[in-house]
Structure 1
Amino acid sequence: MKSISIKATKRPVVGKKEAKRLRLEGLVPGVLYGGEEPIHFQAPEKEFKSLIYTPNVYLVNLDIDGTVYQSIIQDAQFHPVEEQLMHVDFLQTSDDKMVKVEIPVKTEGFAKGIRKGGKLKLNLRTLKVKALVKHLPDTININVDDLDLGQSYKVGSLQRENLEFLNAKAVPVVTIMITRAARAAKVGKG
């Protein structure tokens, strides 16, 4: 799994007034959970750009006043109107602790159904998984070569070593939709 580093400093004062003051200075308040006690910190908003505005999932090396904590982002809150990052929550990870995270889905191959005029539909862009940090992949790759018209891969049919899928088993991840052109070609042959 890819990693990214963020430099931050501890927040001596917490509360709404202090958080508002920080935001005016271009800083984002945040909290690191999962350790003995939550650690309140602040970091420049630009530190989060490559972490927040991407479909990728990163392991974050959160450097708070010189101490580095391995973590993953749990939640990011934005201003309801502007695109300003308001608050960030991180979860401290360790090699022996399971984490839940959403991993992007990536399709590969050329489905039989597409050759017959069908259309690939990605129903889930991410899958929620539970695993140890060392087993988390960058993406969940699904080979669609064998899918024909009207067929799909459901969450329950996906098997990955050391990963537990948390989405409902009956939900289709990727489907080959039957288009009007494919239906007309099928009727014309039959």
Structure 2
Amino acid sequence: MKIEISADKRTLQGKGASRRLRGSGKVPAVIYGGEQAAQSIEMDHNDLFHKLRLEAFHASILTLSVAGKKEPVLLRDVQMHPFKKQVLHVDFQRVDKNKKIHMKVPLHFINAEISPGVKTSGGIVTHILTEVDITCLPGDLPEFISVDLAELTAGHTLHLSDLVLPKDVETVALAKGDDLPVATIVIPRSVLSEEAAGEEASTEKS
């Protein structure tokens, strides 16, 4: 998904200026990184608020247009109001297409309903991780990584080493030798109790 956002240059600095900016429906923001100096910008609050609800907005290379000049950036930080639905500040980082980036991308779990642990054993899938740290070049950044649960049986766990990653993408933890658990299937006590009761009944009959 290609997402483009627009912003204007921000000249006034300080808490008072930021407060007035928010009062007028704008959000103060900053772009940093690369060989250029950090740049203060302002963005439309409603447009930004709705884009922040998109999963891909947090794990994609974004096209940021400032006064007509476009550049690729990553969303790096979002400050929200403690109880209002208000964005207080956002940080964007410039992207160099030739340098690897470090990002958290969401995990999408598929085929849980046909896994033996669920279909046959009546188990429940527990998501231990919902996102994963990866490194790759900007052009190789996936919006998400699929976790296929089709073969997962009850009592077993999928680890990072079991994931099928896109080409030239690697997980940070696994590169450090830490094969983290991703998902497991647990049998609920109610199911175990029913099975035990069924076994007792069949034993008594025999």
CA-CA distance at 1:170 after TM superposition: 4.1
Query: Could you give the per-residue CA deviations for residues 99-138 of structure 1, whole angstroms, max 9, x where no partner exists?
Result: 1221111111221100111011112221121111111112
Greater strand proportion? 1
Equivalent residue, structure 2, for 1:15: 14
Distance in 1 separating the partners of 2:137 and 2:199: 51
CA-atom RMSD in angstroms: 1.9
Find the counterpart in structure 1 of residue 102 from structure 2: 100
- Unaligned regions of 5+ residues in structure 2, if any? 201-206
Higher mean C-alpha deviation, range 153-162 or range 127-136: 153-162
Query: How many positions carry a matched residue from both structures?
Result: 189
Q: Which residue of 2 aligns with 1:86?
A: 88
How far apart, in 1, do the equivalents of 2:41 and 2:25 lie?
14
Rate the CA distance shift 1:50–1:162 in 2: closer, same or farther, 3 A. farther
- Listed one character per residue, the Cα deviations across residues 66-115 of structure 1 (whole Å, up to 9, x for unaligned) are 11010110000011121210000001112112112211111112211001
* 1:59 paired residue number: 61
Contact 2:159-2:179 at 8 Å conserved across structures: yes
Please give the per-residue CA displacement for 1:18-68, whole angstroms capped at 9, x wherever unaligned. Answer: 111100111001011113211110011122133311333332111001110
1:77–1:26 Cα change, 3 Å: same
TM-score, normalised to structure 2, is 0.84
Partner amino acid, structure 2, of 1:112: P
Give the conservation status (yes or no) of the 8 Å contact 1:117–1:181. Answer: no
Name segments (4+ residues, structure 1) moved above 4 Å.
Answer: 185-190
| Structure 1 residue runs without a partner (length 5+) | none
One-letter amino acid matched to 2:100 = M
Deviation at 1:143, TM superposition (A): 0.9
How far apart are 1:155 and its partner, in Å? Answer: 2.3
Distance in 2 (CA, whole Å) between partners of 1:143 and 1:51 is 28
Give the Å deviation of 1:184: 3.7
Give the counterpart letter for 2:169 in structure 1.
Answer: L
Corresponding residue for residue 171 of structure 1: 180
Q: How much identity, in percent, do the aligned residues show?
A: 26
**Which of the two has greater helix per residue?**
2
| TM-score computed with the length of structure 1 as normaliser | 0.90
Q: State the match for 2:204 in structure 1.
A: none
- For residues 72-151 of structure 1, the aligned pairs below 5 Å read 72-109=74-111, 110-115=114-119, 116-151=121-156
Give the secondary-structure state (helix, strand or coil) at the position aligned to 1:3: coil
Letter in 2 for 1:102: K
Cα distance change on mapping 1:145 and 1:159 into 2, 3 Å: closer
Could you say what secondary structure the match of 2:72 adopts?
A: strand
